[in-house]
Amino acid sequence: MALLAGDDLIGRYEEPGRGHAAQILGMVDAVLAEAGVTLSMLDGIAASVGPGAFTGVRISVAVAQGLAFGAGLAVAAVTTLEALALQAFDGGADNALVCLDARMGEVYWGCFAVDDSRGVRATTAPQVGAAAAVRLHPAGTRPGHYRGIGRGFAAYPMLADLPGLVVDPRASAALPNSREMARLGAIKLRAGEGVDPADLAPLYLRDKVALTEAERAAK
């Protein structure tokens, strides 16, 4: 959870476990109290819409909708891939390949370019698939031009062998953070891209949550 007030960013971060719906609400209260504001004083809410774990995505969307409805606020949808790309750009990258472990032998992934006005610009659609199917967008074919980021690289080390890609150990352990969510959400809200909470939709990319016994045995 993070709150952006001018150039000041107030946030709380905790890797979620069980009961993360209650954790989120507690962090919301703590951040609002530290900033000395109420929900109704905000310009809007940035919501993480995925892709990611089904339960986590549903909770994120539902909590954002509930808070926004109650305070009469618009919401800005931010993907986990966008947030990780912004982390890479903060580290000096011009292009980023974001990969998150999607389990079942797959990754959520997408390519992004730095954008001076919007922070990030997607150069591929967000995708889910086998690690072997991941490809860099042609904009990043110059060696070292692409930075890899996300835990998909820790789960599937062969991804780091893609030509033109650089991945450091810290980046391969990175997860989306509310700090980048807040910054990207603020950009979208200023651009008039906030939506009614009822129109906020999760980005699952797939509708399957587990392998069958036969599929597990075949791996």
- pLDDT, residue 216, reads 45
Q: In sequence order, which ranges of the chain are alpha helices (DSSP H)?
A: 20-35, 54-71, 80-90, 152-155, 178-190, 213-218
Predicted structure pTM score: 0.89
Which structural domain range is residue 43 located in?
A: 2-79+176-199
**Domain membership flag for residue 213:** no
Q: 160 φ, ψ to 5°?
A: -70, -10
Looking at the fold, whether 75 and 181 belong to one and the same domain comes out as: yes
Q: Exposed, middle or buried by CB within 10 Å (0-12, 13-18, 19+), for 161?
A: exposed
End-to-end CA distance of the chain: 38
Give per-residue pLDDT as tens, 110-137: 999 999 999 999 999 999 999 999 999 8
Total length of the chain: 219
Determine, yes or no, domain membership for 210: no
Calpha distance 173→191 (Å, rounded):
32
Q: Tell me if 212 is assigned to some domain.
A: no
DSSP 3-state assignment of 121? strand
Identify the CATH number of the domain in which residue 189 sits. Answer: 3.30.420.40
Query: Which two three-digit tokens encode residue 30?
Result: 């703590």
- Looking at the structure, tell me whether residues 13 and 30 fall in a common domain: yes
Tell whether 138 and 86 lie within a shared domain: yes
pLDDT at 78: 98
Do 72 and 125 reside in the same domain of the chain? no
Low-confidence ranges of the chain (pLDDT < 50): 209-217, 219
Model pLDDT, residue 171: 97
Measured between alpha carbons, how far is 40 from 114 in angstroms, rounded to an integer?
32
